[in-house]
Structure 1
Amino acid sequence: AWIAAGYPVEEGEGRPRTRRHFTARLDHGAVADAGDVARALETGTAQLVDARSAPRFRGEEAEPRPGVRPGHMPGARNVHYAALQSE
C-alpha cells in the first residue's frame, strides 16, 4: 500500500536522520495519588472505577495478588475491564 501510494522507499539498515534529546516530564494533572483519590471520594468531585471482576469487587473471590485485600474502596463503582475493550 505504501509503494502503491507512491511514497518513497529505501533499502538497508534504517537509522535516525538526526539525534534528539528527550526529557520525560510528569503531568500532575493526569495522575492521582492516594490523597487525591481520598479527597475525590470525600467530596464527590470524581468517580472511582474498579475494573476487576464483579466477584473480586464484592470480595467474594480471593485476590490473586499478594497483600491486596478483597473487596473495594467505599464509593467505587465496578466496571469490568472486559466491558471497556474495543472490537
Structure 2
Amino acid sequence: NSFVIKDLEFHLTIAKATHNPFMYGLMKIIGEMLYKETQRIIGRSRYTKENTIENTRNLVQAIKQRDAEKAKELMGEHIRDVKVSLE
C-alpha cells in the first residue's frame, strides 16, 4: 500500500530531522512494526487516510513555523487518535 509507505517515510523523515540517532533508530524499528500492523488492519480502523493527511499537513505547518509546542501538541493528538481508533 503506497499510502502506508509514504506515511512511514514521513515519520522517518521527522525522526531523522531531530538529528538524534537513537530517535531515528527507534522510529525505524517502530515504523516497521507499525507498517505490518497497519497493513493488517487497514480498512478496519476509524482513523482514516483523510485524518492522517490533515494531521500531517498541520504538523508540517507547525514545523515550518518553528512552533515546537504546536508540533508537540499535534503529535500527542495524533498518537491518541490512532490509539483510540484501534480499540
TM-score, with length taken from structure 2: 0.20
Higher strand proportion (structure 1 or 2): 1
Higher helix proportion (structure 1 or 2): 2
TM-score, with length taken from structure 1: 0.20
Larger Rg: 1
